[in-house]
Structure 1
Amino acid sequence: MDGQNFNRNLFLFLFLCNVYLYCTTTEVCSNSILPGSKGDPGEVGTEGEEGRMGKTGPPGQRGLTGRYGEKGEIGRIGKMGPKGTSGDKGQEGINGLPGLKGKPGTTCDCGRYRNVVGQMDINISKLKNAVKFLKNVVLGIRETEKMFYLLVTEARRYQESLLNCKLRGGSLAMPRTTETNTLLADYIREADLTHVFIGLQVGVTEVGYMYVDGNPFLNTTVWSMQSPRSGKGDCVQLGSTGAWSQADCGATQYYICEFVKIKNTSATYF
């Protein structure tokens, strides 16, 4: 009897223990997903848009000085500047030594000297004609009352022709009258040429042109190109028709030099 009570009590005890453990046990529910196994590598995506430019960084250190380059070609001739002011008058020189005393004169034999003077006039006239023939035919020189003109058949650039005329004792021809312009145009035509350089350039201002001696030339009515800024060059050429036009200073062509016969000139300008 005692054994049955003991078994019954033990069974009851174990049953209660199981019920207690079942009641006190709480089931924990979680939403977390456990990581799976590593997948295969994906495809390379397309290139993204260019990002915004960042801030400018600090300047770098100054680099070393580079080597000098090769010497470039000579640049174009600049425009002629304005005429400078006249310089101060120089100091008066020292008087020279007096000359030797001449021989005493004699009584004039007028008749005999008239014949000599007459023959001298004839000889001088022949000499002038010979000189004129030499200048016009042999040397090809043209002249006016105050000037000699020489057509130089050596093609040069404008600046070189200007220097060459100066070395000859003259300057590039500067026709200032209609008669002179016609004379030089005939000179060019007889030489079977079309254009030659003359001493005139586009001025430093927008108003017109300037002779090589610094005097301005403003009236363009004698020009075949009316505008002084046609873009064809800053130098001037004279044609066989008497018309003037702009030319490239770097081009080579013939030119006319002028030489003064009488220093004090009073030419009538265009």
Structure 2
Amino acid sequence: MLSYSSYVLTAVAALLVTCHALRKFPEAPRLAGIFGLPGRDDLRGQPPLSGLIGPSGNLILPLRNGLPCVHGLPNSLDTELYDTLLHLGKRLSRLEGVLALNGKITEAGEKILASNGKEVDFASALESCEKAGGTLATPMNEEENNAVLSIVKLYNRYAFLGIKEGDTSGQFKYIDGSPLNYTKWHQYEPNGKGREKCVEMYTDGSWNDKRCNLHRLTICEF
């Protein structure tokens, strides 16, 4: 089922496509029956444009009768608006996932990190993150590692990371299969030699390989 943000994004995209068609084909029949929108002739004699005003006082999204459609605007603006709305839609989906967890939230660069405070096995932790629209927290630099650590310290619990051992013993990868570009192993770790395929974060921010069936704190990234 589509989320609310997906419906909003789809509807706005349809509006932009319709507006483009009205400008490109001025003599085309009215398109009211396609998207339930007024056609070109329906807009004649309507009230002047109003719209959303940006911080600088400029009109950033002109509206006529509530529709983001302005006859005569360049096609490039359609693309610009669509790209902006697509980005906002993605951000909204991520924020919905974060709110669904209803737990601790922090940020690191472009990532949003959150925990529901629950301790479960690796598979269950990954599943809950993916259902919320994210994945298990996977620090790829010191800043991100410190952000995950702040949640680990808050709950004072070790947490699973989005890292697993590959087919080769001792070789760990991100859960998408790509090689690690950053590590924070505790001294003498990893040492499970194929028996400990998951990775946990200690309360000092260092990593340890651990069995995947143990229960650890769930921390997701979006």
TM-score, with length taken from structure 2: 0.53
Alignment of 1:249 onto 2:212: yes
Q: Secondary structure at the match of 1:217?
A: coil
Look up the match of 2:192: 230
Distance 1:146 1:114 in 2: 24
Distance 1:165 1:173 in 2: 9
Give unmatched runs, 5+ long, in structure 1: 1-95, 119-130, 260-270
Distance 1:234 1:114 in 2: 51
Look up the match of 1:153: 117
Distance 1:216 1:248 in 2: 20
Distance 1:248 1:219 in 2: 21
Do 2:129 and 2:135's aligned partners in 1 also have CA atoms closer than 8 Å?
Answer: yes
Do 1:209 and 1:218's aligned partners in 2 also have CA atoms closer than 8 Å?
Answer: no
Runs of 4+ in 1 over 2 A off after TM superposition: 96-108, 113-118, 225-232
Q: RMSD value over aligned CA atoms?
A: 3.5
Do 2:135 and 2:221's aligned partners in 1 also have CA atoms closer than 8 Å?
Answer: yes
Look up the match of 1:190: 154
Displacement of 1:116 in angstroms is 9.8
Look up the match of 1:164: 128
Q: Secondary structure at the match of 2:153?
A: helix
Comparing both chains, which one has the higher relative contact order based on Cα–Cα distances under 8 Å and sequence gaps of 6 or more?
Answer: 1
Give unmatched runs, 5+ long, in structure 2: 1-16, 23-38, 59-94
Q: Secondary structure at the match of 2:116?
A: strand
Do 1:202 and 1:228's aligned partners in 2 also have CA atoms closer than 8 Å?
Answer: no
Name the one with the larger strand percent.
2
Change (3 A) 1:227 1:114: closer
Q: Which amino acid aligns with 1:173?
A: A
Aligned pair count?
142
Displacement of 1:228 in angstroms is 3.5
Change (3 A) 1:219 1:142: closer
Distance 2:182 2:111 in 1: 23
Aligned-pair identity in percent equals: 22
Distance 2:205 2:136 in 1: 16
Give the one of 111, 136, 140 matched to 1:176: 140
Look up the match of 1:52: none
Alignment of 1:212-223 (within 5 A): 212-217=175-180, 220=183, 222-223=184-185
Name the one with the larger helix percent.
2
| Pair member with larger Rg | 1
Q: Secondary structure at the match of 2:150?
A: helix
Cα deviation 1:160-179 (Å, max 9, x = unaligned)? 11111111111111100101
TM-score, with length taken from structure 1: 0.44
Q: Which amino acid aligns with 2:148?
A: L
Q: Secondary structure at the match of 2:109?
A: coil
Distance 1:187 1:115 in 2: 35
Alignment of 1:82-231 (within 5 A): 98=21, 100-101=39-40, 106=48, 117=57, 139-191=103-155, 193-206=156-169, 208-217=171-180, 220=183, 222-231=184-193
Q: Which amino acid aligns with 2:147?
A: L
Distance 1:200 1:163 in 2: 14
